[in-house]
Amino acid sequence: MQMKMSKAILLSGLLLSSAGCGSMFGDQGLFRDGSEDYKKAVETPTVIVPAGIDSVPLREIYVIPKIDDKFLSQGEFEVPKPVPLSADNGAEVVRLQKLGDESWALISLAPGQVWPQVRNFMAASGMQIALADARAGVIESNWLTVEGQPLASRFQFRMEQGVQRETSELHVLQMRQTGTVTAWPAKSDDPDQASEMLRAIAQFLADSADSAPVSMIAEQGITASGKITMQEAPNGYAFLRLDLPFNRAWASLGRALEKSSFEITDRDRSNGTYYIRFLEGGAEDEDGWWGDFWTTADDETLFDEVLVVFMKALPTGTAMTISIQPQDISVPFDKRKAQELLSLIKGNIN
159-168 per-position pLDDT tens digit: 998 888 888 9
Q: Which residue has the higher pLDDT, 301 or 174?
A: 174
State residue 68's pLDDT score.
59
Q: If you average pLDDT over residues 331-347, what whole number do you get?
A: 87
Q: What share of the chain in percent tops pLDDT 90?
A: 32
**Which residues fall within 8 angstroms of residue 23, CB to CB, at 6 or more apart?**
29, 30
14-28 per-position pLDDT tens digit: 444 544 455 566 666
State residue 43's pLDDT score.
82
C-alpha to C-alpha distance for 284 and 304, rounded to whole angstroms? 17
**Which residues fall within 8 angstroms of residue 258, CB to CB, at 6 or more apart?**
264
- Give the domain ranges of the chain: 94-221, 228-346
Is the pLDDT confidence value at 287 over 70? no
Domain covering 94-221 in this structure, CATH number: 3.30.530.50
State residue 242's pLDDT score.
93
Reported confidence tier of residue 227, pLDDT bands at 50, 70, 90 = confident
Is the pLDDT confidence value at 156 over 70? yes
Reported confidence tier of residue 154, pLDDT bands at 50, 70, 90 = very high
Q: Which of 66-75, 178-187, 206-215 has the lowest mean pLDDT?
A: 66-75
Reported confidence tier of residue 262, pLDDT bands at 50, 70, 90 = confident
Is the pLDDT confidence value at 66 over 90? no
Reported confidence tier of residue 105, pLDDT bands at 50, 70, 90 = very high
Amino acid at 148: G
State residue 278's pLDDT score.
77
Closest CA to 174 of 159, 182, 184: 184
State residue 70's pLDDT score.
53
Q: For 228-346, give the CATH class.
A: alpha beta
SS (H, E, C) the chain: CHHHHHHHHHHHHHHHHHHHHHHHCCCCCCCCCCCCHHHHCCCCCCCCCCCCCCCHHHCCCCCCCCCCCCCCCCCCCCCCCCCCCCCCCCCCCEEEEEECCEEEEEECCCHHHHHHHHHHHHHHHCCCEEEEECCCCEEEECCECCCCCCCCEEEEEEEEECCCCCCEEEEEEEEECCCCCCCCCCCCCCHHHHHHHHHHHHHHHHHCHHHCCCCHHHHHHCCCCCCEEEEECCCCCEEEEECCCHHHHHHHHHHHHHHCCEEEEEEEHHHCEEEEEECHHHCCCCCCHHHHHCECCCCCECCCCCEEEEEEECCCCCCEEEEEEECCCCCCCCHHHHHHHHHHHHCCCC
